[in-house]
Amino acid sequence: MRVFIALRLPEAFRNSLVDACTALRAARPGLRWVRPESMHLTLAFLGELDGAGVEGAIKAARLAVRSVAPDGRTMAFELGTTGLLAFPSRGPASVLAAAAGAGARESGLLALRLERELERVGSETGRPFRPRERRPFSPHVTLARAVRPGVRLSAAELSTPIVASCIVNTLAVFRSGLGPSGARYEVLEAIALRR
């Protein structure tokens, strides 16, 4: 099964992102918009894993949360978006996302700890996870994907204010599956960040 680890986002936050994109949605039929219930902030994509791999991923996620908040106190934090990002940054975009402002440092720290724990657990079990991402971590929430390659967004579109904030208090290990209407995600394990 395809597995990734991400921050779960509250419903009100996801709905705020949808509302902020209303005009852009109407102007851009060439984009396939992510359903609100599928929005999340990915910290690690692990690819195809079997049952033992999933158990290792869950263990690493729990250890990462503990390492960030070793005293058992809160690791929950405020996450806020600041505007739009297009990936790749040069040329035609294939992904449109909301960039994290507030909470970028905290989500980056959690992603780093998660990466370390995945390496450690993979080494201990003799079942290494995917190699590290080569690009620097850029916390974002994917909003839309291009239906066809070649989407170019204007500077005015990219300057659309996408402002939303929430308290993030759950890290989750997700299973991803493709269906006729796009990706479907199932939470395999939810880990409280406490608040």
Q: Which residues are catalytic?
A: 40, 140
With a CB cutoff of 8 Å and minimum separation 6, the contacts of 26 are: none
DSSP three-state, residue 73: coil
Q: Strand 170-179 vs strand 2-8: parallel, antiparallel, or unpaired?
A: antiparallel
Helices (H), the chain: 11-20, 22-27, 51-68, 104-125, 155-158
Rounded Cα–Cα distance for residues 40 and 98 (Å): 11
